Structure 1
Amino acid sequence: MTRSRGFTLLELLVVLLIVGLFSGLSVAWLNGGPGAALQALDQLAAQAQQQAAVARHSGQLSGLRWNGRQPEFVRWQQGQWRVEPWRPSAWPQALRADWPASGEPRVIFTPAGVAGPVNLRWQWPDGQQNWRWGSDNRLLRGDAL
């Protein structure tokens, strides 16, 4: 009779290596899709609504502008727009605004609400999302706007 001896350490390490490679590839595949763009836009929308609330309660002007690579929040201080220390956790490079980079904000938050209705479009290779800020400080998001 022959005795079964089980797996060797080398065989177990090869199996673990293969499982690790497949799991790493699947995680990279999941993070690369439109989910990253939508997650970044969700984070930006939440921060924008917080900036609007701060402007409403503090009486200071603030705004949202595009610097060519990512959005920035700015505050009006001493006669000029100064960048607020907000950084998105991971802004996808392919996610772009359809409005030009500028030192002036596209959306201005005032104590009375948004200075005026504004339409914004965010684009990435697989899709787009439109934003509409109403003068009542309400943000509508969606593809059909």
Structure 2
Amino acid sequence: MEFAKHLAMFSALGSTPAAAAAPINAQDMLVSSSPAAASTQRGGIDTISLNFAESARVFSVTLYLPDDSEISVYPAESDTDTPAAKGKNFSFRLSKPLTAAGQYKISYLLTSKSFKSLNGFIDFEVKESGDTSTDDAALARGAERTSDE
């Protein structure tokens, strides 16, 4: 009888034990990104944006270039003591826009209340642009992060 009373109280409040917040599925954690997954861009990409369903601690963001080299976007390669970034929305500015045509991949590593560790990937393509050179060292040195807290 006691259980029935509690169930009635939860129902009256518009919530039942079964309706409690469930953990987020891995595929639902990333709400949106720029560049978007499976998108085709026309070059000039100077910012990587990641928007998550819940607050997270981002430990790393890596950009894989068409020539199979990689750039540590966050933390910057020259700043290994950078703490994890916190928030739901992140924006990482590159010092030089991506203009080289080819397939790119973004990898991110985070933790949140739903995940002890989540490594996600975003593939996108850049079509040819006026300048097809990319200075990897300049990109790595100049990555800058902004986020909401």
- TM-score, normalised to structure 2, is 0.37
Q: Which has the higher strand share?
A: 2
Q: Which has the higher helix share?
A: 1
Whose RCO is larger (CA < 8 A, sep 6+)?
A: 2
- TM-score, normalised to structure 1, is 0.38
